[in-house]
Amino acid sequence: MVFEILAAADNAAPQNKFGFMEALQAGGFISWSVVTILAIMSFGSFFILFTKWWDQSKIMKQAGMLNTSFWRAPTLREGATKLDKDGAWRQMVDDVTTAEDQHSKMANAMEAHDWLNGSLSRSEAYINARLAAGLPFLATVGATSPFIGLFGTVVGIYRALIAIGLAGSASIDKVAGPVGEALIMTALGLLVAVPAVLAYNFLQARNKRIAESLAAFSTDLLANINSNGAIKPKVMTAPVRAAAPVAPKPTPPKM
| Cα separation, 194 vs 23, whole angstroms | 23
d(CA 139, CA 136): 5
Q: What is the DSSP letter of 140?
A: H
Residue 84, judged by CB atoms within 10 A of its CB (0-12, 13-18, 19+), counts as middle
Q: Return the higher-pLDDT residue of 145 and 252.
A: 145
Give the pLDDT band of residue 9 (cuts 50, 70, 90).
very low
CA atoms within 13 A on the CB side of 186: 11
Query: What's the pLDDT score for residue 243?
Result: 46
| pLDDT > 90 fraction of the chain, expressed in percent and rounded | 33
- Angle between the 20-27 and 172-226 helix axes, to the nearest 10 degrees? 100
DSSP state of 82: T
| Tens digits of residue pLDDT in 184-222 | 888 889 999 999 999 999 999 999 999 999 999 998 998
* Cα separation, 194 vs 146, whole angstroms: 9
CA 212/CA 155 separation, integer angstroms: 48
Q: What is the CA angle 26-30-35, rounded to 5?
A: 90
Using a 10 angstrom Cβ sphere, with 0-12 exposed, 13-18 middle and 19 or more buried, the burial of residue 107 is exposed
What is the reported pTM? 0.76
Q: How far apart are alpha carbons 166 and 140 in whole angstroms?
A: 39
- CA 191 to chain centroid: 18
> If pLDDT is split at 50, 70 and 90, which confidence band does 23 have?
low
Q: What whole-number distance in Å separates Cα of residue 134 and Cα of residue 148?
A: 20
Q: What is the mean pLDDT of the chain?
A: 79
Distances (CA, A) of 99 to 83, 102, 113: 19, 5, 10
Which tops the pLDDT comparison, 230 or 58? Answer: 58
- Return the domain boundaries, the chain: 24-226
- pLDDT over 90 (residue 85): no
Q: Taking the CB of residue 111, how many other CB atoms lie within 10 A of it?
A: 12
Can you list the alpha helix ranges (DSSP code H) found in 104-171?
109-132, 135-167
Instruction: Summarize pLDDT for 133-174 with one digit per residue, the tens.
Output: 999 999 999 999 999 988 888 887 877 777 777 766 666 666
- Of 112, 94, 131, nearest in space to 210 by CA: 131
